[in-house]
Amino acid sequence: MLALIYFLLFEGAGVAISFFMLPKKNTVTKAWLGLTLGLGLMMWLPALCAFICGFTVDAHLLAMLPLFIVVGAAWFCRAKEEQAGFEERDKRLLLMLACTALPLTVIGAHLYHTHYLLPDEAGNLFTRMTTYGDMLLHTSIAAGTRNMSFPPEYVILPGEALNYPFLSDTLSTTFMLFGWDLRTAMMVPGILMMALTFSGYMILAERMAETKKGAVLAMLLFFLNGGLGFMYLVDMQGVSLGSAGNNELQSAVGLWERIKAVLGGWYQTPANHAEFSTYNLRCSNVIVDMMLPQRTTLGGWTMLLPCIYLLYDFARPENALPLGVSIMQGTDGPTSVFTRRQVPVRQLVLLGIMAGMLPMINTHCFLGLGLMSAGWMVFDCIKSRKQLWKTLQGWLLYGGLAVILAAPQLFLWTFSQAVGNESFLTFQFNWVNGQMGMQDSWLWFWIKNVGLPFVLILLSLLEKNEKRRFIASGAFVIFVLAEFVKFQPNTYDNYKLFCIWYMLCAVLAADYGFELLGKLKGMRAKPVIAVMALICFFFTGVLAVATEVCTNDWMLFSRADVDAAAFVEEKTDEDDVFMTGTHHINFVSSLAGRKIICGPDMWLHYHGYNTNERKDDIRAFYADPAGNEQVLEKYGVDYVVATSHEYGQMTVNKQALDALYERAYESEWEDVVIWKVGE
């Protein structure tokens, strides 16, 4: 109950600020903007207060003070205009949201239920394919940040600052501090962020698209993306062309048999197939491969979409009219009146604040917004060159505020991780298609992976449509840079930038698609062409989502692991350090939130860390505990753990451990044993 009250206070505050600052916006949009702002404040204000008293309940109570100050400041600076009522546009928006965002949120909620530590009757915890890897990094941050002093450090690499964007995870920590269990604390905010992301994209697309049907199609193109990979299912389906692990997508005979193999196989979806060198299918479906397992991406998109909306609303071409003259009839006759562009100060202040929140929610979203802003600003300044200073005032207000708020985050966390590390910021042309040599031609790679919308996007730019070119001027700055620069050790992470590009360009594809369809008026083949286009648009994406709905459960933690995690949480101190293997399915870090000497390279390597020394020390200690006791002192170890994972990774001298240390915990069948080190 306390967690719910705390959450509602922040959401109410966000909505109030939105209504104070943006009275002329329609009601549905203001509510959405306010809910996302409230969530952002709930991520940030407790974290700021944690620098004073750690990420504790006290810090969360203290965060109420700056919250009230922010709301009070918004009320004091509120616009004096009358609030826009609930209008016809609001009714249309609600209908569009009910037809699109609501069913997608229901699907998202089901996926969260089945993927996030789903218990069975015996007490084992399960997940499914797409969350098998990344999810446990996020649970370790959420569980491990409880009562931690700030700035936080890695639970899976003690002594190293947690430079990875952590605020989407510590949002779940907040709910845990107020009494929720880990599964619920991960699920509820996740489902909420999914709902806000789906709703936000629909509201943004409605604002940007030329027609309502174009907005709906753009939303479906983005969230049910997948490209043309489904064609491998229909190609030469009368004969088996492969076997397990070798052209497996085409190993079954017949379309239905191949579809069943996709639904039941391990990464056999033609949107993101495991055999990269065979098919080169790399554009994952954004719902199941981005929003569900990658918590920071979900939080980032939740906060990014309001920023794009507010920025587009300010800079869209209709606002970029040159200095003009209108004629007004006065009492003394006609009078010339020069029209000037107005700078929406309150809107830009709100935009700058929300943009400034982004770096430690999701750095890729902050980078994408910055690149998009640069493209739109240049376009805007060229179009409004007769009012250049007036135009620049707005951009400087928004950009300056965003940079002021973002700079401390970038210098404290982001730059300290990337500067001096050669695996960050390197030149690499052609994204993953050029990673192992040119696998596909450049154009075909993008057509195959994005699908028919990529063709529509390119064709739409040939038309003299100023609004489309404006949208593209921001989107393709992101695309070009992501094609030439690898920002992190994991080349694939640039996909997060391409997704932001596609957020914008899906609107271009949808509008142009309906424009082309309109030109077929009177043709009897028009319905057939439309159906074929829909198959090309959505077959792969629907298969990707259906796979996660239908696939088998994978056990992460046995009942013995769960019981051992409960012991660790209840009987050990929050700052205790555990010696374990470097496996990613680790109940100590991912369930109990306790520190382990070293986590898996599947996360840490791509965060820029070299873990070789720690891994060597761990192996040496387990093999010869008596001869390597200095390792315990080196890392401040309090407990040593042995499970099947440790036995599978290295030599474990269980007899020596028993001779040296007292068992603090052992499971019924001794498949989990924990030794207490020292007094």
The amino acid at residue 186 is M
pLDDT tens per residue across span 294-319: 999 999 999 999 999 999 999 887 76
What's the gap between Cα 381 and its chain centre? 31
Outline where 22-87 has alpha helix (H): 27-53, 57-62, 64-76
Indicate the average pLDDT of the chain.
91
Per-residue pLDDT at 337: 44
pLDDT tens per residue across span 392-402: 899 999 999 99
Hey, is 225 helix, strand or coil?
Answer: coil
pLDDT tens per residue across span 169-188: 999 999 999 999 999 999 99
Region of 636 please: left (phi>0), alpha (psi -120 to 50) or beta. Answer: left
Question: Of the segments 336-340, 483-487, 554-558, which one has the largest average pLDDT value?
Answer: 554-558
Instruction: Give yes or no for a contact between 475 and 412, defined as CB atoms under 8 angstroms apart.
Output: no
pLDDT tens per residue across span 568-601: 999 999 999 999 999 999 999 999 999 999 999 9
Cβ-in-10-Å burial (0-12, 13-18, 19+) of 434 comes to middle
pLDDT tens per residue across span 496-531: 999 999 999 999 999 999 999 999 988 999 999 999
Q: Tokens 């190609």 sit at which residue? A: 235
**DSSP H or E segment with residue 139:** helix 135-144
Q: Per-residue confidence at 241, pLDDT binned at 50, 70, 90?
A: confident
Is the pLDDT at 332 greater than 80? The verdict is no
Per-residue pLDDT at 326: 44
Cβ-in-10-Å burial (0-12, 13-18, 19+) of 602 comes to middle
Nearest to 619 by CA among 601, 598, 638, 595: 598
CATH annotation of 558-676: 3.40.50
Q: Give the Cα separation of 388 and 391 in Å (integer).
A: 5
pTM of the model: 0.93
**Among 3-17, 376-390, 451-465, whose mean pLDDT is lowest?**
376-390
When computed from its CA atoms, the radius of gyration of the chain, rounded to whole angstroms, is 27
Nearest to 305 by CA among 407, 219, 243: 219
Of the chain, the percentage scoring pLDDT greater than 90 comes to 74
Handedness of CA 612, 614, 619, 620 (dihedral sign): positive
64 Cβ neighbours under 8 A, 6+ residues apart: 9
**DSSP H or E segment with residue 121:** none
CA distances from residue 59 to 21, 53, 150, 354 in whole angstroms, order as listed = 28, 6, 11, 22
The tokens describing 474, both together, are 């921001």
The tokens describing 297, both together, are 């991406």
Q: What's the mean pLDDT in 357-365?
A: 95
Instruction: Give yes or no for a contact between 637 and 577, defined as CB atoms under 8 angstroms apart.
Output: yes
Q: Per-residue confidence at 678, pLDDT binned at 50, 70, 90?
A: confident
Is the pLDDT at 422 greater than 90? The verdict is no
Outline where 156-181 has alpha helix (H): 167-177
Per-residue pLDDT at 419: 65
Residues of the chain with CATH 3.40.50: 558-676
**DSSP H or E segment with residue 19:** helix 2-21
- What counts of helices (H) and strands (E) characterise the chain? 31, 12
pLDDT tens per residue across span 41-84: 999 999 999 999 999 999 999 999 999 999 999 999 998 888 88
Nearest to 30 by CA among 100, 86, 71: 86
